[in-house]
Amino acid sequence: MKIAVANDHRGTSAIEQVKAIIAELNHECLDFSSDNDQPVDYPDMAYLAAKAVSDKQADRAILVCGTGIGMSITANKVKGVRAALCYDELNAKISRNHNDANVLCLSGDLLGTTILRKIVETWLTTEFSGGRHQRRVNKIMAIEDGRDPREV
């Protein structure tokens, strides 16, 4: 898979760990990351990686800011993106298995290296289960197109 990555200044350290995990799992990295701790606006960085997913230049993306909240809000504004803010392995697994999340948002400030690794590995290796969950994802996409999900 090709994984886009991006971060703001508070996610610089964590994104380096994320990039290493991506490489260890033999995925390709499309790098939009900020490589220093100089302040950068998270919407600028999130947009680049989320747009890469939307435009099918990347299969998925992983975004890191201080809490992950700003990246999640921003990424979910991009058509075709289903971004999930995950703080543990269960969130990561369900976001992929049930919601077919194609963007993972993480906190650079609140996650230690061990849990960050577990979340990223789980998220990258969990497949979407489809079935009844596909119907729900279709409803999310209908909302994105301005349609009433109850009519899907």
Q: What's the CA gap between 44 and 40, in Å, rounded?
A: 8
Two tokens, residue 26:
């033999």
Q: Using alpha carbons, select from 43, 38, 37 the residue that is nearest to residue 6.
A: 43
Two tokens, residue 97:
């298995």
Say which of 9, 27, 98, 133 is annotated catalytic.
98
Question: Cα–Cα–Cα angle for 89, 31, 97, nearest 5°?
Answer: 30
| Helix 113-125, helix 89-97: angle, nearest 10 | 20
* Residue type for position 20: A
Say which of 29, 65, 86, 105 is annotated catalytic.
65
133 in catalytic set: no
29 in catalytic set: no
Catalytic annotation, residues = 65, 98
